[in-house]
Chains A and B, each alone.
Chain A
Amino acid sequence: MSENKTSLWQRYLSANPVTMSFLAIFLGFVVGAAVIIFSSSDVLHAWTQIFNSPGAILHAIKVTLDNVGAAYRAMFTGSVFDPTILWHALTTGQDWTAALTPISETLTYAAPLVIISIGVAISFETGLFNIGANGQAILGGIAGTAFGSMIHLPMFIHLPLTLACGVAAGAFYGFIPGVLKALTGAHEVIVTLMLNYVVAFFLLYSLLSTPLQLPGQVNDLSRVILPSAQLPNFFATATTLRVSWGILIAIGVVAFGWWFLNRSTLGFDFRITGANPNAARASGINPKKIIMYVFLISGGLAGLAGVVQVDGTTHSLDGGFLIGSAGIGFTAITVSLLGRNKPINVFWGAILFSALGVGGRIMQAETGIPLDLATIIQSAVVLFVATPVMVQEIFRLREGTLHTVELNTKGWSS
């Protein structure tokens, strides 16, 4: 980095948003590596031996790199592609299914995550914090499954109505915190968090004590969505490639999100309210109306995500639907922060985080390192994204157009 070269390279080294995102992701992986190192008895044992023999320190470094490397290699080959299998497919023209499976899995997980993250990003852009996306998605999934499995209709109407059911249920569940905040001032963070727990119980209830339960089943399993309501697979011939038309819906939602936030009147009102509520009120925007609309739209998208997940991938519900290690709604919060609430960036963020999740499962299978590592990496990434000044200090970057994550939750009484 010499002084006279004020070139593209220097601009990359300044603290611009793209560089900062990549550095945050890098730091997230560093944190993950640290967790692997401190939890692996092999590695720790190797480091306690370094004073025993001269070559031991090299051995310790090698063991460390082997362990971390194996974990991250498994993550990559499990979620993007395995170079040897891909090479085999390219040279022989066979086994394309195996070569495409990882990326197909990533896109399968990405479809609902993209949709729900766009919903969360819209609420963030308005300065509202929708932590309840997880519950809204679960309710959307329940409604979609109920409609898709218990009502018989021809496909051209059944599938759209199933998806619409999910959207309606999610919007309804999002509307509760919205209307409570608008009318009574109840803080949306607490209400949405509590609603997440309520819906978790409701999921169990509907799987155990309602007609939604699979007939003849005592466990928490639902009926299977009828073929006329299922989202078809993208590759009809290769059934192991699970990616469905849901990913196209996700891309459509990204386009909708972009249009909504950047081109629509309501979206403009949303962003004004988020940027400066007082100015918004002064210019005649009714904040109560905005709050309710935000939660309707955000919840509707979350519900769509839930129904896409069940309709495109699992086709039925169980007691652990979308709850997972951290829950899709929480991942969505991290994704939309990573993408700084811009729909197109959110899309890439969702792809990255689904790759981490899918790769994490392969890593767990191959190396025995728990899947929770993926969540740890994700939360570390967001911590760094939310703290750009620190990343800038760590890498000694020049001041750039530093876009901090503007959320400004504005305390409790707002």
Chain B
Amino acid sequence: MELVSTLVTPDVVIRRDTPAGRTRVIGAIMSLMALFIFWVFALGATSKASSIITFNPLNTSGGAPWHLASLTLPSRVSALVLAIIALAAGIETIVRVPASRVMARFGFVSILFLLGLFVWTVRSSGPSPTNFIDITDVLVNASGITMVLIFGSMSGIMCERAGVVNIAIEGQFLGGAFIGAIVASSTNSFVLATFAGAAVGALLGWVLAFFAVRYRSDQVIVGVVLVTMIASLTNFLNLTFLTPFQQYNTGVTPSSIPIPLLDKIPIIGPLLFNQDMFFYMMYVLVAGMSFALFKTKWGLRVRAVGEHPQAAATVGIRVKGVRYFNVILGGAIGGIGGVAFIALHGQFNPGFTSGLGYIALAAVIFGRWRPSGAVVASIIFGLTSMLASGLQSFDVPVSSEILGMFPYIITIAVVSGLIGRVRAPAADGIPYKQD
């Protein structure tokens, strides 16, 4: 395997992650966010206004964590402090042009922005009917969509590291969700539903691989067509099957499994250790994939196939075999993501994933084809999606349709402003022809 290891670009190289010009642009964006916090959130609150941040979940049916007293903040001063910190981070980025961790800085400022938004939204005598926000609830609400995105992006990474673009994640979600709803409703077992969803996802992955690997069709076309086809097929079957037989779409949801003691930690407990089985499955998946792709022989082979299939074939790796295996596995992961989605939503509705699969694809690119990066991207997108729906209940003076655009606009902004030209696996999307 010596030869192969030289083929694969080592992932830990001292290099500038982001070009200097783009780093400055990101720094400028961060400074603008800081100014926004100042102008809108700090000056938008009266000097006497206060905001209350609580940490105990409103719904404590799963067992309440240890109590944490709520925090009463003066709205204007807190927003001002947040703005100053954010501005400092932005200017530091512009002036010093750090070679790495630009994204970490950006994420930090985004979190400050979010906190500023919360403080402003729930300020007393503000537009909201309540003057407190529950951080734990906000995070728990965002965790569901984040989990589905992580499943989707793992599916994408699995395929793309082997050199097959998987645009069909959305289709795998829908297929997995459809079959998951039927199996979960009829057997009341989400374990069986997971297997069924994985099987359907694997089948869809096989179809993608069949066309992309065996017949070398354009992978983007096959992916888009598969999504269209699965979307209309699930619509079709929903009308012909689920509508007349509603006992197969009852909307059961799995119960949460609290992990003793750990679930008592405030904030983190309800967020990470009192979730349904899919959430724990996600931990295993992310850890397993990070390890398998970068620390094992198998991962090296997969990455070799994704970077330089001809060379990989020269050292005896079966390129097509690897691609088939990975795309089918990726499809299965996407299918499980669909079941996880149905576990969140209960009932199947046609087209209800509303582009989540494509956002997962953006998370793959944002995360630079690494599981850890994709997790960070998914958290960002999950939080924005939650904001779109969550802020409506706080009566912010923005109409719900405009808020609904948020996740998508932020995806575009992230993909174009922060990521730009990325280095995908070199053979990603290029059909392999055996000579």
Query: Is A193 touching B365 in the complex (CB atoms < 8 A)?
Result: no
How far, in angstroms, from A225 to B240 measured CA to CA in the complex?
A: 37
State whether the Cβ of B237 lies closer than 8 Å to any Cβ in chain A: yes
State whether the Cβ of B294 lies closer than 8 Å to any Cβ in chain A: no
Query: Is B424 touching A413 in the complex (CB atoms < 8 A)?
Result: yes
Query: Is B401 touching A204 in the complex (CB atoms < 8 A)?
Result: yes
Query: Which residues from chain A contact B63 at a C-beta distance below 8 Å?
Result: none
Query: Is B365 touching A326 in the complex (CB atoms < 8 A)?
Result: no
Query: Is A131 touching B224 in the complex (CB atoms < 8 A)?
Result: yes
How far, in angstroms, from A376 to B165 measured CA to CA in the complex?
A: 22
Query: Is A195 touching B424 in the complex (CB atoms < 8 A)?
Result: no
How far, in angstroms, from A330 to B236 measured CA to CA in the complex?
A: 18
Nearest-Cβ distance from residue A4 to partner chain B, whole angstroms: 33
State whether the Cβ of A259 lies closer than 8 Å to any Cβ in chain B: no
Complex interface bits, B216-231 against A, C-beta within 8 A gives 1, otherwise 0: 1111111011101101
How far, in angstroms, from A196 to B237 measured CA to CA in the complex?
A: 25
| A370 contact from B235, B409, B427, Cβ within 8 A | B235
Query: Is A186 touching B408 in the complex (CB atoms < 8 A)?
Result: no
**Interface centre among B411, B416, B428, by most A CB within 10 Å?**
B416
**Interface centre among B211, B226, B409, B421, by most A CB within 10 Å?**
B421
Selecting from A49-57, A109-117, A230-238, A380-388, the interface stretch reads A380-388
How far, in angstroms, from A180 to B409 measured CA to CA in the complex?
A: 13
Query: Is B405 touching A202 in the complex (CB atoms < 8 A)?
Result: yes
Query: Is A202 touching B421 in the complex (CB atoms < 8 A)?
Result: no
Query: Which residues from chain B contact A376 at a C-beta distance below 8 Å?
Result: 229, 232-233, 236
Given contacts A35-B233, A185-B421, A373-B236, contact A409 B218 (CB under 8 A): yes
Query: Is A205 touching B399 in the complex (CB atoms < 8 A)?
Result: yes
Complex interface bits, A360-380 against B, C-beta within 8 A gives 1, otherwise 0: 000000000110110110111
Query: Is A35 touching B236 in the complex (CB atoms < 8 A)?
Result: yes
State whether the Cβ of B367 lies closer than 8 Å to any Cβ in chain A: no
Nearest-Cβ distance from residue A143 to partner chain B, whole angstroms: 17
Query: Which residues from chain B contact A208 at a C-beta distance below 8 Å?
Result: 399, 401
State whether the Cβ of B420 lies closer than 8 Å to any Cβ in chain A: yes
Query: Is B232 touching A375 in the complex (CB atoms < 8 A)?
Result: yes
**Interface centre among B167, B216, B240, B420, by most A CB within 10 Å?**
B240
Write the chain B residue with the least CB distance to A393: B215
Query: Which residues from chain B contact A380 at a C-beta distance below 8 Å?
Result: 229
Nearest-Cβ distance from residue A289 to partner chain B, whole angstroms: 18
Write the chain B residue with the least CB distance to A373: B236
Query: Which residues from chain B contact A370 at a C-beta distance below 8 Å?
Result: 235-236, 239-240
Query: Which residues from chain A contact B424 at a C-beta distance below 8 Å?
Result: 411-413
| B211 contact from A180, A187, A383, Cβ within 8 A | A383
Query: Is B231 touching A201 in the complex (CB atoms < 8 A)?
Result: no
State whether the Cβ of A397 lies closer than 8 Å to any Cβ in chain B: no
How far, in angstroms, from A176 to B429 measured CA to CA in the complex?
A: 24
Nearest-Cβ distance from residue A205 to partner chain B, whole angstroms: 4
Write the chain A residue with the least CB distance to B234: A372
How far, in angstroms, from A379 to B354 measured CA to CA in the complex?
A: 19
Query: Is A389 touching B215 in the complex (CB atoms < 8 A)?
Result: yes
Residues A304-330 near B (CB distance < 8 A): 325-326, 330
Query: Is A383 touching B428 in the complex (CB atoms < 8 A)?
Result: no
State whether the Cβ of B206 lies closer than 8 Å to any Cβ in chain A: no
State whether the Cβ of B423 lies closer than 8 Å to any Cβ in chain A: yes
State whether the Cβ of B430 lies closer than 8 Å to any Cβ in chain A: yes
Residues B389-403 near A (CB distance < 8 A): 399, 401-402
Query: Which residues from chain B contact A411 at a C-beta distance below 8 Å?
Result: 165, 424, 426-430
Nearest-Cβ distance from residue A375 to partner chain B, whole angstroms: 4
State whether the Cβ of B358 lies closer than 8 Å to any Cβ in chain A: yes
Given contacts A193-B355, A370-B235, A383-B229, contact A407 B220 (CB under 8 A): yes
Query: Is A386 touching B211 in the complex (CB atoms < 8 A)?
Result: yes
Nearest-Cβ distance from residue A178 to partner chain B, whole angstroms: 12
Given contacts A194-B412, A205-B402, A330-B224, contact A390 B420 (CB under 8 A): no
Nearest-Cβ distance from residue A40 to partner chain B, whole angstroms: 8
How far, in angstroms, from A243 to B365 measured CA to CA in the complex?
A: 45
How far, in angstroms, from A411 to B430 measured CA to CA in the complex?
A: 7
Query: Which residues from chain A contact B71 at a C-beta distance below 8 Å?
Result: none
How far, in angstroms, from A65 to B235 measured CA to CA in the complex?
A: 24
Query: Is A190 touching B229 in the complex (CB atoms < 8 A)?
Result: no
Residues B319-359 near A (CB distance < 8 A): 354-355, 358-359
Nearest-Cβ distance from residue A54 to partner chain B, whole angstroms: 31
Write the chain A residue with the least CB distance to B163: A411
How far, in angstroms, from A72 to B241 measured CA to CA in the complex?
A: 21
Query: Is A412 touching B365 in the complex (CB atoms < 8 A)?
Result: yes
Size of chain B's interface in residues, with CB distance under 8 A? 55
Given contacts A186-B412, A191-B416, A382-B225, contact A202 B220 (CB under 8 A): no
How far, in angstroms, from A108 to B399 measured CA to CA in the complex?
A: 35
State whether the Cβ of B112 lies closer than 8 Å to any Cβ in chain A: no
Nearest-Cβ distance from residue B93 to partner chain A, whole angstroms: 18
Nearest-Cβ distance from residue A124 to partner chain B, whole angstroms: 9
Query: Is A334 touching B225 in the complex (CB atoms < 8 A)?
Result: yes
State whether the Cβ of B313 lies closer than 8 Å to any Cβ in chain A: no
Residues B364-404 near A (CB distance < 8 A): 365, 399, 401-402, 404
Query: Is B232 touching A372 in the complex (CB atoms < 8 A)?
Result: yes
How far, in angstroms, from A372 to B232 measured CA to CA in the complex?
A: 5
How far, in angstroms, from A186 to B361 measured CA to CA in the complex?
A: 13
How far, in angstroms, from A409 to B217 measured CA to CA in the complex?
A: 11
State whether the Cβ of A37 lies closer than 8 Å to any Cβ in chain B: no
State whether the Cβ of A337 lies closer than 8 Å to any Cβ in chain B: yes
Query: Which residues from chain A contact B217 at a C-beta distance below 8 Å?
Result: 383, 386-387
Query: Is A409 touching B233 in the complex (CB atoms < 8 A)?
Result: no
Residues A171-214 near B (CB distance < 8 A): 180, 184-187, 189-191, 193-198, 201-202, 204-205, 208-209
State whether the Cβ of B262 lies closer than 8 Å to any Cβ in chain A: no
Nearest-Cβ distance from residue A29 to partner chain B, whole angstroms: 15
Query: Is A190 touching B404 in the complex (CB atoms < 8 A)?
Result: no
Given contacts A189-B167, A198-B409, A386-B225, contact A180 B358 (CB under 8 A): no
Nearest-Cβ distance from residue B283 to partner chain A, whole angstroms: 27
Nearest-Cβ distance from residue B151 to partner chain A, whole angstroms: 18
Query: Which residues from chain A contact B422 at a C-beta distance below 8 Å?
Result: 185, 412-413
Residues B198-256 near A (CB distance < 8 A): 211, 215-222, 224-226, 228-229, 231-233, 235-237, 239-241
Query: Which residues from chain A contact B427 at a C-beta distance below 8 Å?
Result: 411
State whether the Cβ of B117 lies closer than 8 Å to any Cβ in chain A: no
Query: Is A129 touching B408 in the complex (CB atoms < 8 A)?
Result: no
Query: Which residues from chain B contact A378 at a C-beta distance below 8 Å?
Result: 228
State whether the Cβ of A408 lies closer than 8 Å to any Cβ in chain B: yes
Query: Which residues from chain A contact B211 at a C-beta distance below 8 Å?
Result: 383, 386-387, 390
State whether the Cβ of A5 lies closer than 8 Å to any Cβ in chain B: no
Query: Which residues from chain B contact A337 at a C-beta distance below 8 Å?
Result: 221
A-B contact pairs, 19 of them (CB 8 A): A39-B237, A131-B224, A185-B421, A185-B422, A190-B358, A190-B412, A191-B415, A198-B409, A201-B404, A201-B405, A202-B401, A204-B401, A337-B221, A370-B240, A386-B211, A387-B215, A389-B215, A407-B221, A411-B426
The residues of B with any CB-CB pair to A shorter than 8 Å are 165, 167, 211, 215-222, 224-226, 228-229, 231-233, 235-237, 239-241, 354-355, 358-359, 361-362, 365, 399, 401-402, 404-405, 408-409, 411-412, 415-417, 419-424, 426-430
Seed contacts A372-B235, A407-B221; 18 additional CB < 8 Å A-B pairs: A190-B358, A190-B412, A191-B412, A194-B411, A196-B355, A197-B354, A201-B401, A208-B399, A325-B235, A370-B236, A375-B231, A380-B229, A383-B229, A386-B217, A386-B225, A387-B211, A407-B218, A411-B429
Q: Please give me the 5 A-B residue pairs with the lowest Cβ-Cβ distance, nearest first.
A: A186-B416, A185-B421, A375-B232, A205-B401, A411-B429
